[in-house]
């Protein structure tokens, strides 16, 4: 893990300009406490930090609903939107079923052919994982300069199968599938393709571009296989903000602490190289495709084996501890420190700085 100085999250001051990316957790916590909530007793899981989907009681089962936009990739935006929304639904123990998409298309450069290509892409992605495209909205607008897809996905879940990130229990093993940062590698390979081609061998760049599908940013099978093995109390997928943000979100949702072993965190080779060369911290880079699982310690080896049989590697990276112990990491040199926090996702910040974002000549 890198030792460069990490940008720490800071308190959001009234009138202070917010950074790009997610709302800062302290502000979001305040807004949710003030404005969110419902008196509807059928709302089983409502809004909260670390809770990425809602669960609604419809009698014999739960409907699980989530929404997520795709705003900073230009290629395969429809497939990205479907994948990240399906991850949120699957991480609740539900089967993704119905997808709605709002397509905001720029007034400059949008042609019938471009719109048809986007529809075709979304339709193909839905068919691949047996999801019905059942509605949405389309609009050409001056408000965007590139296509933006806002997805809404509904799934269904038996009442005895629902899990949330709030379910983690003290003593649980913390598992991580695949490794990090999968989505960061995929995004950099697509959005900075020309720069990577100048700096790396073509084979390396090709492997990075394939990260979208191999190891893949979908964690649906990860969740399904883990649940089938039994003993799962909580799941959470690391998205914007990377593994670091996901760990803090999970801890807050469940009112627990986490003790993470730095040495155990699997950092994929292409991800490690890109992060080192471009001065990005892998813990703070968008990481869809991996899945955090909190499970009974006695079942953890069973879950790992079940995932391995399905072609998905997984390792234990830590333990759930009491909340008073915080979210801490045992470093490679044996010290115990807080898991670093990031004001802005490392990749999102790099893209915002423009094409010349590298810090080291290769």
Q: Is the pLDDT of residue 78 over 90?
A: no
Cis peptide before 341 (omega within 30 of 0): no
The structure tokens listed for 204 are 């390396």
Is the pTM higher than 0.85? The answer reads yes
User: What is the rounded distance in angstroms from the CA atom of residue 223 to the CA atom of residue 319?
Assistant: 19
Note the pLDDT tens digit of each residue in 111-136: 999 999 999 999 999 998 899 999 99
For the chain, the farthest-separated pair of C-alpha atoms sits apart, in whole angstroms, at 60
Q: How confident is the model at residue 264 (pLDDT cuts 50, 70, 90)?
A: very high
**pLDDT for position 243:** 97
215-245 per-residue burial string, b: 16 or more CB within 10 A, e: under 16: bbbbbbbbbebbbebebbbbbbbbbbbbbbb
* Mean pLDDT, residues 337-352 taken together: 87
Note the pLDDT tens digit of each residue in 245-260: 999 999 999 999 999 9
User: What is the rounded distance in angstroms from the CA atom of residue 7 to the CA atom of residue 359?
Assistant: 16
**pLDDT for position 14:** 53
Structural domains of the chain ordered from first start = 39-158 (3.30.1330.10), 165-352 (3.90.650.10)
Listed in sequence order, the residues at least 6 apart from 45 whose beta carbon sits closer than 8 Å to its beta carbon are 51, 53, 54, 55, 92, 162, 164, 166
Q: For strand 173-177 and strand 292-295, is the pairing parallel, antiparallel, or unpaired?
A: antiparallel
DSSP 24: P
Q: Is the pLDDT of residue 360 over 80?
A: no
Q: How confident is the model at residue 13 (pLDDT cuts 50, 70, 90)?
A: low
Listed in sequence order, the residues at least 6 apart from 136 whose beta carbon sits closer than 8 Å to its beta carbon are 100, 101, 102, 103, 152
* Mean pLDDT, residues 138-157 taken together: 94
Cβ-contact 327, 185 below 8 angstroms: no
**Residue of 252, 236, 238, 221 lying closest to 282 (CA atoms):** 238
**pLDDT for position 355:** 55
Q: Is 87 left (phi over 0), alpha (psi -120 to 50) or beta?
A: alpha
Q: Is the pLDDT of residue 207 over 80?
A: yes
CB-count burial class (<10 Å; 0-12, 13-18, 19+) for 84: buried
Q: Is the pLDDT of residue 359 over 60?
A: no
Note the pLDDT tens digit of each residue in 315-337: 999 999 999 999 999 999 989 99
Tell me the percentage of the chain whose pLDDT exceeds 70: 92
Q: Is the pLDDT of residue 361 over 60?
A: no
Q: Which of 174-188, 201-215, 341-355 has the lowest mean pLDDT?
A: 341-355
CB atoms within 10 A of CB 351: 18
Listed in sequence order, the residues at least 6 apart from 201 whose beta carbon sits closer than 8 Å to its beta carbon are none
Compute CA distances 235 → 137, 186, 219, 321, whole Å: 31, 23, 11, 16
Mean pLDDT, the chain, whole residue set: 90
Q: Is the pLDDT of residue 154 over 90?
A: yes
- Does residue 80 or residue 233 have the better pLDDT? 233
* Mean pLDDT, residues 139-164 taken together: 94
What is the helix (H) or strand (E) element at residue 338, kind and residue range?
Answer: strand 336-338
Q: Is the pLDDT of residue 86 over 70?
A: yes
Q: Is the pLDDT of residue 181 over 80?
A: yes
Q: Is the pLDDT of residue 104 over 90?
A: yes
Compute CA distances 175 → 179, 296, 318, whole Å: 10, 11, 7
Cβ-contact 257, 208 below 8 angstroms: no
Q: Is the pLDDT of residue 75 over 50?
A: yes
Q: Tokens 């310690």 appear where?
A: 297
- Does residue 125 or residue 351 have the better pLDDT? 125
Q: How far is CA 187 from the centre of its chain?
A: 13
DSSP 319: E
The structure tokens listed for 26 are 């302290």
**pLDDT for position 357:** 47
The structure tokens listed for 152 are 């809404």
Q: Is the pLDDT of residue 74 over 80?
A: no
**Residue of 284, 198, 203 lying closest to 238 (CA atoms):** 284
**pLDDT for position 353:** 67
**pLDDT for position 12:** 47
User: What is the rounded distance in angstroms from the CA atom of residue 4 to the CA atom of residue 103?
Assistant: 39
């Amino acid at each position: 893990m890198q030792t460069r100085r990490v940008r720490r999250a800071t308190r959001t001051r009234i009138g202070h300009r917010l950074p790009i990316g997610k709302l800062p957790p302290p502000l979001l916590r305040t807004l949710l406490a003030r404005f969110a909530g419902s008196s509807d007793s059928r709302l089983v899981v409502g809004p909260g930090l670390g809770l990425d989907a809602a669960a609604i009681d419809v009698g014999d089962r739960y409907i699980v609903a989530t929404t997520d936009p795709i705003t900073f990739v230009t290629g395969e935006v429809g497939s990205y939107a479907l994948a990240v929304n399906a991850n949120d639904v699957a991480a609740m123990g539900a089967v993704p079923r119905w997808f709605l998409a709002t397509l905001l298309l720029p007034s400059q450069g949008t042609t019938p052919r471009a719109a048809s290509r986007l529809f075709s892409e979304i339709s193909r992605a839905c068919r691949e994982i047996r999801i019905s495209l059942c509605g949405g909205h389309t609009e050409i607008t001056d408000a965007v300069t590139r296509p933006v897809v806002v997805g809404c996905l509904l799934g269904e879940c038996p009442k005895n199968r629902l899990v949330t990130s709030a379910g983690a229990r003290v003593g649980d093993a913390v598992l991580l599938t695949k490794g990090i940062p999968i989505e960061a590698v995929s995004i950099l390979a697509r959005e900075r393709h020309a720069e990577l081609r100048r700096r790396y061998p073509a084979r390396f760049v090709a492997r990075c571009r394939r990260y979208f599908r191999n190891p893949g940013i979908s964690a649906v099978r990860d969740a399904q296989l883990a649940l089938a093995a039994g003993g799962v109390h909580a799941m959470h997928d690391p998205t914007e903000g990377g593994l670091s943000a996901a760990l803090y979100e999970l801890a807050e949702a469940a009112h627990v602490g986490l003790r993470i072993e730095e040495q155990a965190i699997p950092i994929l080779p292409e991800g490690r190289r890109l992060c080192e060369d471009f001065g990005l911290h892998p813990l703070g880079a968008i990481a869809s495709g991996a899945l955090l699982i909190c499970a009974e310690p006695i079942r953890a080896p069973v879950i790992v084996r079940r995932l391995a049989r399905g072609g998905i590697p997984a390792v234990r990276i830590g333990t759930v501890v009491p909340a008073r112990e915080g979210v801490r990491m045992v470093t490679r040199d044996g010290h115990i420190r807080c898991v670093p926090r990031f004001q802005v996702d490392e990749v999102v910040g790099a893209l915002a700085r423009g094409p010349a974002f590298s810090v080291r000549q290769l």
